[in-house]
Amino acid sequence: MEGIATVNRSKRRKLPKAIQSIADNLHNLHCPDCNNDAALTQDSLGMWHLEIRHDDTCPWLSAYEQHHQ
């Protein structure tokens, strides 16, 4: 995505406390059904986004996509 930057350690220390708490605990955000990745990014407008990237074979993601079509 254009205009999105990931958060490194030095940036994380300067974040507001609520966002800093999420950034510090990204390793705890995991799906019990797959080996997902989590990323905290900030767009060009300053909005924060938490993105959970599930594996293509994740049963939770498959069920979610079927329900929300």
pTM: 0.56
Nearest to 53 by CA among 41, 67, 66: 41
Return d(Cα 65, Cα 69) in angstroms, integer. 6
List pLDDT tens digits, range 24-68: 777 777 888 998 888 888 888 888 888 889 999 999 999 999 999
CA terminus-to-terminus distance, the chain? 23
Residue 1 has pLDDT above 60, yes or no: no
Maximum distance among all Cα pairs of the chain, rounded to whole angstroms: 40
- Compare 12 and 24 and report the one with higher pLDDT: 24
What's the pLDDT score for residue 24?
A: 76
